[in-house]
A = this chain, B = another copy of it.
Amino acid sequence: MPDARLDVLAIGNAIVDVIASADDDFLAREGLAKGSMRLVDADEAARLYGRMAPGRETSGGSAANTVAGIAALGLRAGFIGQVATDQLGEVFAHDIRALGVEFATSPRGGDLATARCLILVTSDAQRTMNTFLGASQYLPAAALDQRQIEDAAILYLEGYLWDPEEPRAAMERAIAIARGAARQVAFTLSDSFCVDRHRDGFQALIDSGRIDILFANEAEIVSLTQAADLAGALAAVEGKLPLLVVTRSEHGALAIRGSERAEVVAEPVAKVIDTTGAGDLFAAGFLAGHARGRPLEESLRMGAIAAAEVISHYGARPEADLKALVATKLG
């Protein structure tokens, strides 16, 4: 296999986040399950937006946040995702390119706007997400550049993008290209509600041996396996995944590669402001370490450091100099 031009190429929803404060009463009145992500249509997005507090807009999208972190750590990253020809689409494209991420997916014309995620952050720093997928759900397989996928050491896919049909087909195609080129395929389960919607599809993907690296949090892996607890979930997927990474919020994270198992505690954070992007940035740190061939434990530490940075402020992308931060913390 030839040297890779990119370390990580991600496919994900191309989303602009709209972050606003909310209290528990607001979530209750709107019937929202704290900490979850739900899909909303244009009408519901407009209705909820009309009731929300003033927002701040920043580029988001789970896998897009991950490659933003990977680029910030000094690695070569690319992103594939569908925006519309509108102002928020320009914002998304600008922000990801300004980080040095290769982003060449053509914007989509027509009525559907760029995807937006209305994120309600409560005072306990939890985020509750309401995603209007808009143009993002129409990423076509035709938008893939076969050569670009073959040129990336790791293809990284987000489970959220399994919801709409066209991007799911695009991801299936991308997996086939990557495997054909003997590249690694990484996948994140994204959200336990997402796992509920696609348990069979995700299980089939894993059982077929097409996933090399799986990222999940505790709730997601338990939901996927329908096990009673984490230990049961780990037992259920044993031997099916060359590399499994499980994040456990304030309890740290663990990774299992064959008979090798590593575990780290969570990185301390002075004050957790907004947990949006915690999992995305954990994946960024871990993949950056993994792509460079670092030991499991060091990659986990890099994930924990990147996650700790992103939850210490509003917004799902790093604000500090991640590369310097990791260098300092790893000593």
Contacts and interface: CB of A to CB of B under 8 A. Distances in A.
A94 interface: yes
A309 B140 CA distance: 46
Interface residues of A, number: 24
Interface in A97-111: 98-99
Interface stretch (A55-63, A177-185, A215-223): A55-63
A50 B87 contact: no
Given A87-B87, A87-B88, A113-B87, A95 B317 contact: no
A126 to B, nearest CB: 18
Contact of A55 (B54, B87, B91): B91
A86 B113 CA distance: 11
Interface of A: 20, 49-50, 52-59, 68, 86-88, 91, 94-96, 98-99, 113, 315, 317
B56 A94 contact: no
Contacts of A50: 94
Contacts of A95: 54-55
The dominant DSSP class at the A interface is mixed
A248 to B, nearest CB: 29
A49 B94 CA distance: 8
9 contacts: A20-B98, A52-B94, A54-B58, A54-B98, A55-B95, A56-B56, A56-B57, A57-B91, A87-B87
Contacts of A315: 56
A81 to B, nearest CB: 16
Given A86-B87, A87-B88, A94 B59 contact: no
A59 B57 CA distance: 9
A88 B57 CA distance: 10
